[in-house]
């Protein structure tokens, strides 16, 4: 019904039926308010403003123009704040994901360092074992030489 009266009001305004156009614009506004859709109410107030100006009802025209401007500003500020909220949440999510990925990489590096440390400890233990074994073999050989 809203769109029907919106289109009829604009068509009657173009055809010169100013009074009927204003009545249809007011019905359009009532449906917009009833439906609680701000975007519809903005359009309806704009049409009411135009029909009131055409009918030279300047008091009504100013009233509808003020409502139109106020609703349009609040609608766009609400829309912009919603966009900003979405952008902030996306940024925070991306930031958390990147922090998570960074922590995973740090954990991998810690694991590699731990395995490398264990490898070095094992290498030095084996090297010490062979060095100590060689040292003991040398001492035994020296004892044998000394006893002969």
Do 31 and 2 contact (CB within 8 A), yes or no? yes
Specify the pTM.
0.41
Backbone angles phi, psi at 107, to 5 degrees: -65, -40
Q: What is the pLDDT of residues 102-136, one digit of tens each?
A: 999 999 999 999 999 999 999 999 999 999 999 99
Q: What is the pLDDT of residues 41-87, one digit of tens each?
A: 777 777 777 777 777 777 877 777 778 788 787 777 777 778 888 88
For the chain, the first-to-last Cα distance in angstroms comes to 123
pLDDT at 67: 80
Q: What is the pLDDT of residues 79-89, one digit of tens each?
A: 777 888 888 88
């Amino acid at each position: 019904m809203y769109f029907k009266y919106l289109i009829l009001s604009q068509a009657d305004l173009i055809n010169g039926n100013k009074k009927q156009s204003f009545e249809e614009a007011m019905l359009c506004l009532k449906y917009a308010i009833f439906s609680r859709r701000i975007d519809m109410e903005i359009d309806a107030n704009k049409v009411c403003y135009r029909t009131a100006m055409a009918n030279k009802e300047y008091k009504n025209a100013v009233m509808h123009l003020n409502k139109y401007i106020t609703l349009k500003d609040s609608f766009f500020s609400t829309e912009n704040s919603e966009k900003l909220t979405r952008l902030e949440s996306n940024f925070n999510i991306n930031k958390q994901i990147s922090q998570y990925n960074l922590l995973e990489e740090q954990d991998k590096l810690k694991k590699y360092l731990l395995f490398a440390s264990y490898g070095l400890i094992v290498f030095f233990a084996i090297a010490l074992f062979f060095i100590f074994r060689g040292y003991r073999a040398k001492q035994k050989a020296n004892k044998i030489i000394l006893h002969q």
